[in-house]
Structure 1
């Protein structure tokens, strides 16, 4: 009898512990989810100027998923609007660098000008291609204001390849990959602007 009672008490204690753990996870899950969304939102939207959007772009994903381009892949995107009118398109792009994949965030205004580029993920060589993830990043900032036609297609290359852009020192492969991915994104935007901004619906 004592043994049965001990087993019963043990089962009850274990059940109470499991129930308390479940309740705690259930109660805190919305808060954790909200915090994760806030962090993701800040990470994805910090290149948009204050006042340049008044919607929640993450709630307006674009119908993009694994769109293969010439040198990169578009993983997805979002639309920023102000007063109900499109103001910018945010594209997530993935390309192959020297050590592996590089994931970029590329922000383009409705006129096709680049508002900003940042690295979300990378595995490049520290101190060389890994500099692509530095924040702030003067090399990535040098692309701001460029568009598909400025420079012309032939200019979207490194200077050592007869293009217009400097490279990250010691990181030719990384630099080429990023320049090509940015050019891909601008070209895609130019060719699909009505669908991306909703003005073609």
Structure 2
């Protein structure tokens, strides 16, 4: 009988400590995930201030939405900020994906007016090759700033090809896939922004 009781007690203790350990792991994971999400949101806000002028950031009202559209690179929900002046929507900032980067998906942030004129672009995250493909980062080179004030006509706009393919976009030494992938994503995203007045009846 004593052996049976000991077995029950041991089983209870093992179950308790297993449950406690699992709960601790889940709690730590949730806390870590929350912190990572907060850090990413703070970084995103920093980039938002970079893709639009300071005067625009301070004087335009911003409304946030989640949107899904194939032009944004995947089937996930993407962040969208509509920018209003005097209660009228003037432009938008959209988080988008270049799914065909050399080393995987590249996350970007694009700001543009509804007529297709680009206000600014920044890369949020990527896994491109250091020293080659990472020139898409503003901290590495000013390549991404060259899109400012360019105008996207439609999805067939040939300006948004690398110069070696007859377009106006500079490539990197030793890299063509990364810059063309980002360029294509920017073009698609701006086309999406141009369609927003119809989607939202602005």
The offset of 1:119, in angstroms, is 4.6
Q: 1:90 to 1:96 in 2, by over 3 A?
A: same
Q: TM-score, normalised by structure 1?
A: 0.71
Q: Which residue of 1 aligns with 2:79?
A: 78
Aligned pairs (5 A) from 1:1-201: 1-21=1-21, 23-24=23-24, 31-49=31-49, 51=58, 57=64, 60-62=65-67, 64-65=68-69, 67=70, 73=74, 75-81=76-82, 88-97=92-101, 99-111=102-114, 112=116, 113-122=118-127, 124-133=128-137, 135-149=139-153, 153-190=157-194, 192-195=195-198, 198=200, 200=201
CA contact (8 A) 2:137 2:144 kept: no
What is the rounded CA distance, in whole Å, between the counterparts of 1:19 and 1:95 in structure 2? 40
CA contact (8 A) 1:156 1:163 kept: yes
Q: TM-score, normalised by structure 2?
A: 0.71
Residues 30-50 of structure 1 deviation map (CA, whole Å, 9 limit, x = unaligned): 644432331231243332126
Secondary structure in 2 matching 1:47: helix
The offset of 1:121, in angstroms, is 2.8
Secondary structure in 1 matching 2:66: coil
The offset of 1:68, in angstroms, is 5.3
Report the aligned-residue RMSD: 3.5
What is the rounded CA distance, in whole Å, between the counterparts of 1:115 and 1:33 in structure 2? 29
Q: 1:159 to 1:23 in 2, by over 3 A?
A: closer
What is the rounded CA distance, in whole Å, between the counterparts of 1:125 and 1:108 in structure 2? 26
Q: 1:23 to 1:187 in 2, by over 3 A?
A: closer
Return the structure number with greater helix share.
2
The offset of 1:138, in angstroms, is 1.4
CA contact (8 A) 2:110 2:120 kept: yes
Where does structure 2 lack aligned partners over 5 or more consecutive residues? 50-56
What is the rounded CA distance, in whole Å, between the counterparts of 2:95 and 2:178 in structure 1? 19
Residues 79-108 of structure 1 deviation map (CA, whole Å, 9 limit, x = unaligned): 2256776553313222323x3433231322
Q: 1:85 to 1:119 in 2, by over 3 A?
A: same
Where does structure 1 lack aligned partners over 5 or more consecutive residues? none
